[in-house]
Amino acid sequence: MTKATADRLLLPDVLKGVAVLLMIQVHLMELFARQDVYNSLAGKISLFLGGPPAAPVFMAVMGYFIAKQGADVMKNIFRGIRLIVYGFLLNIGLNLHLLYHILTGELDLNPLTYILGVDILFLAGLSLILISLIRLLIHDSLVAWLAVLLVVALSATFLPAGMERNQWTDYVFAYFFLDVPWSYFPLLPWLVYPLAGYCFFLFSGKYLKNVTNRQLLMATLAGLIPFILFFRNGFSITVDLPAYYHHNFIYILWALLFLGLWTMLLRQVTLWIPSGPLTGFLRWTGRNVTAFYVFQWLLIGNLATAYYKSAGGWELVWWFVGITVVTGLLVRAYQEGMKFYRLRVNDDVLK
């Protein structure tokens, strides 16, 4: 990899690295924090940081790279299916402790809402498949992709979402639009964010090649005005998790504006601090974001059954440090294990 290529990849890697760390802290706040901490200002700030800077950023970066890599349709479809399978396996893995207590009769809960919970891996897989199929029809027409984005954003607001009827179809529709407690990242409205990343790649290729830093700064300052004006409404929706998971068109506009401003902020940070321990860690985390996400959920999900809503403020800080360190070590061990496996496979082939 050339230095120029490495520099170009620094920002998306850091964006993903920051996003997954913010996901760790918000998962701890949701599951470990005492109710008084959860309802405090610190709790609301935690929920906000686990909102627009986390999942929307991750999905937008994914959409950007779908456009950039231009892989063939069947390859992307199989990748999407693999992500969906991983989603089911992760749901079972992170809830193993809880499911044990349900199966032994100690807890009276519906196991299907945990096994079939609509987490971000399902969204990533479905988005990858759908965007790849749409690309067959409209190729890389920026106007057409912007039209698709607009239709999805409006559909999330104005199409009837339906009502929970305690039928098996609820578990299916939850992956696409149904507003039920176990649907965290349904395709509507969340498909907007990978579409936004896809559109940004096309837009930047046509219109941002010769943009100066001064012009970017002026655009950023202009974007701050509506962001600040509507911040109170955006903040209140973000910290209300059911409203956040099933947000509307107005919030989408605000969140997309936030994504632009957040990206410009981290771009500036990476220009100021292109190397160093923190930047290096964020970059490594971003490059291994899927493994990092999976391992942190396996830890937090199973521990939450024992420590649910029991931690104070400083305890959450130590939990965050501990989970992050252990997750990093597990990712590193996973990497080394995969290297050893590939070497063994190559040795077997050569023999």
Give the per-residue pLDDT at 274: 86
Q: List the structure tokens of 6.
A: 């490495």
- Residue 230 CA from chain centroid, whole number: 23
- Evaluate whether 232 touches 100 at the Cβ level (below 8 Å): no
Give the per-residue pLDDT at 347: 53
Give the per-residue pLDDT at 158: 76
Give the per-residue pLDDT at 344: 65
Give the per-residue pLDDT at 7: 47
Give the per-residue pLDDT at 161: 53
Which among 69, 24, 100, 143 has a CA at the least distance from the CA of 306?
100
Give the per-residue pLDDT at 311: 95
Give the per-residue pLDDT at 1: 45
- Evaluate whether 293 touches 20 at the Cβ level (below 8 Å): yes
pLDDT 10s digit of each residue in the chain, 351 long?
Answer: 444 444 458 999 999 999 999 999 999 999 999 999 999 999 999 999 999 999 999 999 999 999 998 778 899 999 999 999 999 999 999 999 999 999 999 999 999 999 999 999 999 999 999 999 999 999 999 999 999 999 999 987 776 555 556 688 899 999 999 889 999 999 999 999 999 999 999 999 888 888 888 888 898 999 999 999 999 999 999 999 999 999 999 999 999 999 999 999 999 999 888 888 999 999 999 999 999 999 999 999 999 999 999 999 999 999 999 999 999 999 999 999 988 777 766 655 445
| Domains: count for the chain | 1
Domain span holding position 127 = 3-350
User: CA 45 to CA 50: how far, in whole Å?
Assistant: 9
Q: Can you spell out the DSSP letters for 169-221? A: HHHHHTTTT---TTBSS-HHHHTHHHHHHHHHHHHHHHHSTT--HHHHHHHHH
On the CB side of 251, how many CA atoms lie within 13 Å of its CA? 22
Give the per-residue pLDDT at 339: 84
Give the per-residue pLDDT at 199: 97
Give the per-residue pLDDT at 84: 97
> Could you give phi then psi for residue 118, rounded to 5 degrees?
-90, 90
